[in-house]
């Protein structure tokens, strides 16, 4: 056999073997999911919340045309809260936590029903950074609670005990814009100020996007789909308005006078306790 023929046969069998290996490799890969090195943290199943360790759930990869509503019907609200994510941030290519039994997450809250240190206060707000969750207490009893998006690593929400000292229904950020330098100032509807740092920067609880992880520059964001629809055009039918609920409970007109939407400092606002550290992202 000529040398040229031998070279052809070697090349043929090499290609055959390599091709077979590639086919096997492609067939053996895992189902689509966010990359383990995902810096954008699109895989929410990798975020560890202590309250979920005993709960049964599995990762759910979001495929094209899938939404929380199409997947879970009326229970989409509980799945969103369980994942600390809003509908605008659930998109193809990301992964969420899907509970194995919906009844396990209806009414889910990681906060205690009673808080002894809050009993001396008529109104008391607890923010748990590790759980990314905030709750409203009256005389130590939890009245309601909701997910939150706090400061991310490097711009953490300050820890400690504070007091709500100002309210502003139509607040906007003085530092950040929606779409870079050319956009409008970022809306911060239903803003409750609780801290001013050494640089004279105010920290607020306010309406915000919830991407399912700590994401802010230090403020505390709550669901407000009405703000999202007005600002981003979705969702078309707003449902979740947690920021308004917290605002109306914390600083009602009946206690602090008529609210005309302007910035207003207040006295004797509710106490806010911020505790914990940021959740672990595996």
State the Cα angle at 201 between 199 and 205, rounded to 5°: 150
**This prediction's pTM:** 0.84
Whether residue 18 contacts residue 68, with contact meaning beta carbons closer than 8 Å, is answered with no
Q: What pLDDT digit, counting tens, does each position of 230-253 carry?
A: 888 889 899 999 999 999 999 999
d(CA 118, CA 115): 5
Q: Which of 168, 171, 195, 219 is catalytic?
A: 219
Q: Where are the domains of the chain?
A: 30-104, 116-281
Instruction: Find the mean pLDDT for residues 152-180.
Output: 85
Q: 121 catalytic, yes or no?
A: no
Whether residue 79 contacts residue 72, with contact meaning beta carbons closer than 8 Å, is answered with yes
Class of domain 116-281 as given by CATH: mainly beta
Q: 195 catalytic, yes or no?
A: no
Lowest mean pLDDT among 89-98, 193-202, 231-240: 231-240
Q: Which of 65, 168, 206, 217 is catalytic?
A: 206
Continuous H helices in the chain = 3-28, 68-72, 76-83, 225-232, 242-250, 253-256
């Amino acid at each position: 056999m000529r040398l040229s023929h031998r070279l052809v046969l070697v090349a043929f069998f090499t290609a055959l073997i390599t091709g077979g290996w590639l086919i096997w490799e492609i067939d053996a890969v895992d189902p689509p999911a966010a990359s383990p090195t995902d810096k954008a943290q699109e895989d929410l199943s990798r975020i560890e919340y202590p309250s979920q360790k005993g709960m049964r759930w599995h990762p759910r990869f979001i495929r094209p045309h899938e939404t929380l509503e199409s997947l879970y019907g009326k229970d989409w609200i509980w799945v969103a809260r369980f994942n600390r994510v809003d509908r605008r941030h659930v998109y193809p290519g990301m992964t969420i936590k899907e509970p194995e039994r919906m009844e396990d997450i209806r009414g889910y809250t990681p906060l205690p029903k009673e808080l002894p240190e809050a009993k001396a206060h008529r109104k008391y707000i607890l923010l748990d950074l590790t759980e990314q969750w905030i709750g409203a207490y009256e005389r130590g009893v939890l009245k309601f609670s909701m997910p939150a998006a706090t400061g991310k690593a490097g711009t953490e929400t300050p820890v400690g005990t504070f007091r709500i000292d100002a309210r502003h229904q139509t607040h906007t950020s003085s530092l950040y814009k929606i779409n870079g330098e050319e956009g409008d100032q970022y809306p911060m509807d239903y803003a409750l100020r609780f801290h001013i740092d050494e640089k004279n920067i105010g920290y607020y609880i306010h309406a915000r996007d919830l991407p399912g992880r700590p994401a802010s520059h230090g403020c505390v964001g709550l669901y407000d789909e009405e703000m999202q629809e007005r600002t981003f055009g979705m969702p078309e039918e707003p449902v979740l308005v947690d920021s308004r609920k917290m605002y109306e409970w914390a600083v009602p007109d009946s206690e602090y006078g008529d609210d005309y939407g302007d910035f207003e400092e207040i006295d004797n606002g509710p106490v806010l306790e911020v505790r914990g550290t940021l959740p672990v992202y595996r």
